[in-house]
Amino acid sequence: AQRVTQPEKLLSVFKGAPVELKCNYSYSGSPELFWYVQYSRQRLQLLLRHISRESIKGFTADLNKGETSFHLKKPFAQEEDSAMYYCALRGVSNTGKLIFGQGTTLQVKP
Amino acid sequence: DVKVTQSSRYLVKRTGEKVFLECVQDMDHENMFWYRQDPGLGLRLIYFSYDVKMKEKGDIPEGYSVSREKKERFSLILESASTNQTSMYLCASSVSGGAGDTQYFGPGTRLTVL
């Protein structure tokens, strides 16, 4: 079964501290993985996707097929990073259907 | 810039009422989706549509139906609203095919069923 697990409901760090939001997935093929973010009073939006291998707002995420993980990392958290973060998986299909994790709220304290 | 709009930001309905949630996108996207967003449960897919008049059930379709008569519009219908359908409802759209296609979300409709 396809599944995405984000084990932490809430992650609270101080400004300037490193951040790692965990994401584990279950999928038998080659998945596409994404991170979506929702800032307060804003709509959900794409943060980054693994195939792009890009860094967005200082965040990176590496797909580890051996550990079936796609953790989101940032070396120095900023207060404006406070938001809800969702990890999502897309299997091989043309429907664009995504499976989302439960979400992790990141709280960056001053 | 992709725009996905939802007809209401807040809605309050009574148990047993028929409820319509409307979603419109302006980027000619083939795919459209309806999700529920609940704390601790994340986003759960209710229904999606990959073409006009085409629909497929998501993970939690019970108590819901959908309609897609035009490419830009995807409606979610609660035939007889119940209190356990109180939630935030998000609509999204995306292009069809290709690797890494992005879903674009609407602002959400917070539905309260009394």
C-alpha A24/C-alpha B65 separation (Å) is: 31
Could you tell me which residues come within 8 angstroms of residue A40 by beta carbon, excluding any fewer than 6 positions away? Answer: A82, A83
Please list every residue in chain A whose beta carbon sits closer than 8 Å to the beta carbon of residue B100: 32, 34, 49, 51-52
- What is the C-alpha end-to-end distance of chain B, expressed in Å? 37
Q: For residue B111, what are the CA distances in angstroms to A4, B65, B83?
A: 26, 16, 10
**Interchain CB distance below 8 Å, B102 and A102:** no
pLDDT on residue B70: 96
pLDDT on residue B45: 94
Candidates B60, B89, B69, B76; CA nearest to B18 is B76
**Interchain CB distance below 8 Å, B96 and A96:** yes
- pLDDT tens across B70-110, in order? 999 999 999 999 999 999 999 999 987 655 578 999 999 99
Task: Give A44→chain B minimum CA distance, Å.
Answer: 6
**Interchain CB distance below 8 Å, A32 and B45:** no
- pLDDT tens across B16-48, in order? 999 999 999 998 999 999 999 998 899 999 999
**What's the token pair of residue A87?**
């990890």
pLDDT on residue B105: 96
Residue B112 pLDDT greater than 90, yes or no = yes
**Interchain CB distance below 8 Å, A46 and B103:** yes
pLDDT on residue A2: 85
Which B positions 71-110 lie with beta carbon below 8 A of chain A? 90, 92, 94-97, 99-108
> CB-hemisphere CA count at 13 Å for A74?
23
Dihedral sign for Cα B11, B14, B15, B19, please.
negative
Residues of chain A with pLDDT under 70: 92-95
A41 shares contact with chain B (CB less than 8 Å): no
Task: Give A110→chain B minimum CA distance, Å.
Answer: 25
C-alpha B43/C-alpha A51 separation (Å) is: 22
A31 shares contact with chain B (CB less than 8 Å): no
Could you tell me which residues come within 8 angstroms of residue B30 by beta carbon, excluding any fewer than 6 positions away? Answer: B50, B51, B71, B94, B95, B96
Q: What are phi and psi of A56, to 5 degrees?
A: -120, 125
pLDDT on residue A94: 55
Minimal Cα distance from B47: which residue of A? A97
Minimal Cα distance from A41: which residue of B? B107
pLDDT on residue A32: 87
**Interchain CB distance below 8 Å, B90 and A44:** yes
pLDDT on residue B98: 59
**Interchain CB distance below 8 Å, A49 and B45:** no
